Structure 1
Amino acid sequence: MDRRKFFKYGSLATVGATMLSPIEIFGKEVDFINKGGTAKNIIMLISDGMSTGTLNMADLYLNRKTGKGSNWMQLYKDNRVSRALMDTASASSIVTDSAAASSAFGGGFRVKNGSLNISPEGKPNMPIWQKFKKAGKKAGCVTTVTITHATPAGFCVCNDSRNSQPEIAEEYLKQGFDVLLGGGDQYFNSEKREDKKNVYKDYENKGYKVVKSRNQLQNAPDNKPLLGVFDHDALPYTVDRNSSKELQEQMPTLAEMAQKAIDCMKSNPKGFVLQIEGGKVDWAAHANDISGLIYDQVAFDEAVKVAIDFAEKDKNTLVIITTDHGNANPGVIYGKNANDGFDSIQNYTHTNEYLLNQIHAEDSTSKIKDLIQQVNGISLTDEDATHIQSYYSGLEKGEEGLYNYKKLPFKTYSEIQRKYNSVGWISMDHSADYVELAMFGPGSENLKPFIKNTDIHYLMLESAGVENKF
């Protein structure tokens, strides 16, 4: 169906009005009259690059460590959400990237990988957060990667390239989004931008409170628009943050950023929309980095609790919990030591990224073995230690990868870890999986068991009673 006709010929008389007649959605007529009311607020949580195995392992991890599983899975167990599988394809491939995936949510149409809300014919599709701003709602994004990264950007702006992050930082200000929290100092700081623009100053001149630390975030006023940028690039992985007092003091958690964003926008009479991204889940999957993956998925799950707790009290908030695509498809592999192997991840103190960056060409195999014993509790063989050392001495070619700028031996080390932690991976890149999606609150009753990623755009507008006239 023509998605623009979805609302153009609908029966909404004004923004926020109640529907009076059935509307075609997902190929069927659905009567929305008195079906759960209208969502004043929408919170959409996206664990970027979360294969189903990632969701599964985070729940297993928490169950075996604490005796209590994840907040997301508990919603399933308690039958408190509508649940669906979602097709994540882009206009150019059955395997999407994050820009096209977010644009499907944001613009309501599939676009080519790499672009943000620009159709294959070059036509811009207005992003949904702009539509909600025009409807009088406040709008914000929080993420553990750069705030200008593909997933938040897809809800907010149009651009031919997801890599135009300096431009995206300025475009957010033009659109007047109310809360922006994440990393990416290099795109705002005059000393780091190529054009030497002081984008922080531009935000301050428009009335934004700019914060750069966890303490500043916690003490920021709730009655001003807020820009929080906490690191040069993405924020640190959760497991690395947990092992550093300095990082804990400097860096907010995703749950803390989510709570602050809600506090800043919840008093708006016409409500708010908020996108919350666990972006480092995707980066960890690209690196086959199991501690990075599980601990950041758990951190995302804590943000899920923040959103659900608010929605339960508010009664007028739709919460959407999903991912944009699978990545690397990890899982616990069968074997007599599967339980003990998987449980050993509880003792990991750092990511593989941290560990492999500690190794240098001049290090002996015994020093490498000591380091890995300290970080992972693994008694590495001499053969495996020599294999790892060969990457640093130039004997082995450095490994390629999307976020592997130093060409560290991520794949090699994850294959070594598998012998000890029972976790296997199919690749180091995105996959075409159908993914999990859950909805809680007004509008969730309209979710069908199987949808396309673009359908989320129209479900959000429909649930909020906002006409698609822009």
Structure 2
Amino acid sequence: MFGRLYKATLWARISSMLALWVILTVTPGAADAAKNLIVMVPDGTGATHTTLARWVSESQRLAIDSMHVGAVRTYGADSMVTDSAPAATAFATGHKSSDKFIGVLPGPVTIPGVPPVPEELQYKPVATVLEGAKLLGKATGLVATSNIQHATPAGFSAHWPDRNNYNEIAEQQVYQDIDVVLGGGKLYLMPASQGGKRTDGENLLNVLMKRGYTIVETRDDLLNTTADRVWGLFAPDAMQRDLDRAEFAPQEPSLAEMTKKAIEILSKNPQGFFLFVEGSEIDWSSHANDPVGVVTDYLAFDAAVQVALDFAKQHGDTVVAVFSDHGNGGMSIGNARTNKTYSKMSFDSVVQALRKAKLTAEGVAKKIGNDRSEAHIRTVVSTYWGIDDLTPEEIAAIQNYDGKHLSYALGPIMSVRSNIGWSTNGHTGEDLFFYHFGLNVPTGTVENTDLAHAMASLMGFSLADIDARLYRSAEAVAAQYGARLSIDRSDPENPVLVLRNGWTARFPFSKDILILDGHTFRLKAPTVFAPNTGKVYINLELE
């Protein structure tokens, strides 16, 4: 059934797949070129983001400028403007999905052109390209500046219909047996009794250590480690914006440093590696309409791209793919103030204020803190942004802002002074650029789902085949073995699937563990519960 669905979906998209999928499967040497695959996502980045970053850069050049360019469509199964979760699901699994869904098939489909999913398959977990690479024996890695449980890295490493359930995502990630994981998010690995966020009483840090990981928590620890399995936890939650790091968290590594170390470790594997890297907080600065954060975090991401390209150019067997998940903010160079003066807009009027900034809007917000007095606000904004002409309206906007992030009141202040416009604090639905190195073929305009199938093809597997191996319905397995199926909820926070037929097999939810008649075995994928349907999906392959 699922194989037929996959073929139908592939046929429905053949017009766009011809631009990428067919080329990669018939190009001589294409598969050989992808012993290593590095996927890099500047979250929430549109064409204006990269254009502005290029102008602000002292060199006026970006690493992506040397790469081949195509285009990617970004919509989801239920919206023309996608959230990061279904976007990540699309390019990790090859399936459009529903809002907030991570690594699972959608519910009802509402967007024309997206094939509907049969009711019995809705909400089913589906395999990712990272999981496929791992089955091939490749080393795997995740790098992000957000908490590592955030939507985009989660899309490659977990299966759950709610991107905000970081505790669930964290547990699945730990039991995915990924070789290198670098980012923030330590809180979601620790029980509440020890200052963390977990409510199930589990300490996943202990699990990592028992499984042979070296845990690093500072830049120096990361750069000095010689371990082959590393989990970096550089912040309780998200890491700092790149520009703010020196002021607030100098012990954190940069994205380029994390990328370089991940490649160094993963490239030891003779079978090759798959590495995912995200510049997470470009998106967050876009939500706040903060051009300083957008530019500086994008340039930090571009430095990581250069690290990947340097490695790829030294190794003819490496492909680097760079693409964003969605646009954000409707950013423009030029705004309502330049309606009649755009043809006379000078370089300095856009770039000068951005180059002078010492902190992002988020960093300035931290400096303002709880002191909303006019004198304090003026001092902070002058010190860190060089802006000495705040208007009474701007002071009032800062003083009266009662939302979660004061940066939302500050971002527009810098935007006005840089002739930057914004249409929204939310995501946008335009097609985006797809940059690639190592394919050496034109790619045209493709679907975000096409990227997943192309990546799988480059590494030598089919996502449908991997999915059939990793995520089987427990009901079908029980029927196959004539077993009785039940769920043990004696510990509500840690339920266990149980199969019995003269023997007893226990599959703890969210773990890659099988306990068969009291003997414990490791599986090739975690057991995944689908809360929308109550179904459980299991793997029977032993490590």
Q: TM-score higher than 0.5 here?
A: yes
Structure 1 distance, partners of 2:249, 2:257, is: 14
1:394 maps to what in 2? Answer: none
1:352 maps to what in 2? Answer: 361
Please tell me whether the aligned partners of residues 6 and 24 of structure 1 are also in contact (alpha carbons under 8 angstroms).
no
Please tell me whether the aligned partners of residues 291 and 415 of structure 2 are also in contact (alpha carbons under 8 angstroms).
no
Please tell me whether the aligned partners of residues 52 and 329 of structure 1 are also in contact (alpha carbons under 8 angstroms).
no
2:141 maps to what in 1? Answer: 140
1:167 maps to what in 2? Answer: 168
1:14 maps to what in 2? Answer: none
Q: Which residue identity lines up with residue 218 of structure 1 in the other structure? A: L
Change (3 A) 1:56 1:389: closer
CA deviation after TM superposition for structure 1 residue 340, in Å: 1.9
Please tell me whether the aligned partners of residues 48 and 282 of structure 1 are also in contact (alpha carbons under 8 angstroms).
yes
Structure 2 distance, partners of 1:167, 1:41, is: 29
1:113 maps to what in 2? Answer: 99
- TM-score where L is the length of structure 1: 0.86
Structure 1 distance, partners of 2:415, 2:260, is: 36
Q: Does residue 435 of the first structure (1) align with residue 435 of the second (2)?
A: no
Name which of 17, 27, 52 aligns with 1:26. 17
Change (3 A) 1:417 1:467: closer
CA deviation after TM superposition for structure 1 residue 378, in Å: 0.9
1:40 maps to what in 2? Answer: 35
Change (3 A) 1:70 1:318: same
Change (3 A) 1:25 1:89: closer
Please tell me whether the aligned partners of residues 418 and 424 of structure 1 are also in contact (alpha carbons under 8 angstroms).
yes
- 1:40-83 Cα shifts (integer Å, max 9, x gaps): 01000000000111011111111xxx23411112x1xxxxx332
1:57 maps to what in 2? Answer: 52
- 1:271-310 Cα shifts (integer Å, max 9, x gaps): 1000000001111111112211111000000000010000
Please tell me whether the aligned partners of residues 145 and 235 of structure 1 are also in contact (alpha carbons under 8 angstroms).
yes
CA deviation after TM superposition for structure 1 residue 418, in Å: 3.1
Secondary structure in structure 2 of the residue aligned to 1:239: coil
CA deviation after TM superposition for structure 1 residue 384, in Å: 3.4
Structure 2 distance, partners of 1:414, 1:386, is: 13
Any residues of structure 2 matched to 1:185-200 within 5 Å, and which? 185-190=186-191, 191=194, 192=196, 193-200=198-205
Change (3 A) 1:101 1:136: same
Q: Which residue identity lines up with residue 233 of structure 1 in the other structure? A: D
Secondary structure in structure 2 of the residue aligned to 1:175: coil
List gaps (5 residues or longer) in structure 1: 10-22, 76-80, 392-396, 400-404
Secondary structure in structure 2 of the residue aligned to 1:182: strand
- 1:238-284 Cα shifts (integer Å, max 9, x gaps): 11114x2x623x10000110111111110212110000000011111
Any residues of structure 2 matched to 1:266-277 within 5 Å, and which? 266-277=267-278
Larger radius of gyration: 2
Please tell me whether the aligned partners of residues 372 and 380 of structure 1 are also in contact (alpha carbons under 8 angstroms).
no
1:226 maps to what in 2? Answer: 230
Structure 2 distance, partners of 1:361, 1:226, is: 38
CA deviation after TM superposition for structure 1 residue 414, in Å: 3.1
Secondary structure in structure 2 of the residue aligned to 1:4: helix
Secondary structure in structure 2 of the residue aligned to 1:197: coil
Identity percentage of aligned residues: 30
Change (3 A) 1:212 1:351: same
Q: Which residue identity lines up with residue 384 of structure 1 in the other structure? A: E
Change (3 A) 1:280 1:3: farther
CA deviation after TM superposition for structure 1 residue 372, in Å: 1.1
1:101 maps to what in 2? Answer: 87
- TM-score where L is the length of structure 2: 0.75
Please tell me whether the aligned partners of residues 290 and 414 of structure 2 are also in contact (alpha carbons under 8 angstroms).
no
1:256 maps to what in 2? Answer: 257
Q: Does residue 206 of the first structure (1) align with residue 215 of the second (2)?
A: no
Please tell me whether the aligned partners of residues 214 and 252 of structure 1 are also in contact (alpha carbons under 8 angstroms).
yes
1:152 maps to what in 2? Answer: 153
Q: Which residue identity lines up with residue 59 of structure 2 in the other structure? A: G
CA deviation after TM superposition for structure 1 residue 329, in Å: 2.4
Structure 1 distance, partners of 2:48, 2:55, is: 10
CA deviation after TM superposition for structure 1 residue 377, in Å: 0.7
Q: Which residue identity lines up with residue 302 of structure 2 in the other structure? A: D
Change (3 A) 1:136 1:463: same
Please tell me whether the aligned partners of residues 127 and 158 of structure 1 are also in contact (alpha carbons under 8 angstroms).
no
Tell me the number of residue pairs that the alignment of Structure 1 and Structure 2 aligns.
430
Please tell me whether the aligned partners of residues 361 and 407 of structure 2 are also in contact (alpha carbons under 8 angstroms).
no
2:416 maps to what in 1? Answer: 419
- 1:386-406 Cα shifts (integer Å, max 9, x gaps): 423541xxxxx624xxxxx25
- 1:337-358 Cα shifts (integer Å, max 9, x gaps): 6422322211101111222333
Q: Which residue identity lines up with residue 61 of structure 2 in the other structure? A: G
- 1:88-137 Cα shifts (integer Å, max 9, x gaps): 01111011111100000111100101011211212221111111111111
Name which of 60, 70, 73 aligns with 2:62. 70
Please tell me whether the aligned partners of residues 349 and 376 of structure 1 are also in contact (alpha carbons under 8 angstroms).
yes
Change (3 A) 1:361 1:389: farther
List gaps (5 residues or longer) in structure 2: 107-121, 467-543
2:249 maps to what in 1? Answer: 247
Q: Does residue 339 of the first structure (1) align with residue 347 of the second (2)?
A: yes
Please tell me whether the aligned partners of residues 140 and 178 of structure 2 are also in contact (alpha carbons under 8 angstroms).
yes
Name which structure has the greater RCO, CA cutoff 8 Å, separation 6+.
Answer: 1
CA deviation after TM superposition for structure 1 residue 330, in Å: 1.6
Secondary structure in structure 1 of the residue aligned to 2:243: helix
Please tell me whether the aligned partners of residues 98 and 325 of structure 1 are also in contact (alpha carbons under 8 angstroms).
yes
Please tell me whether the aligned partners of residues 31 and 460 of structure 2 are also in contact (alpha carbons under 8 angstroms).
no
Any residues of structure 2 matched to 1:74-89 within 5 Å, and which? 75=66, 81-89=67-75
Secondary structure in structure 2 of the residue aligned to 1:274: strand
CA deviation after TM superposition for structure 1 residue 364, in Å: 3.4
Q: Which residue identity lines up with residue 26 of structure 1 in the other structure? A: M
Change (3 A) 1:168 1:414: closer
Structure 2 distance, partners of 1:434, 1:25, is: 13
Q: Which residue identity lines up with residue 339 of structure 1 in the other structure? A: F
Structure 2 distance, partners of 1:143, 1:361, is: 29
Give the RMSD, CA atoms, in angstroms: 2.4
- 1:203-242 Cα shifts (integer Å, max 9, x gaps): 00001111111111111124x2110010011100011114
2:501 maps to what in 1? Answer: none
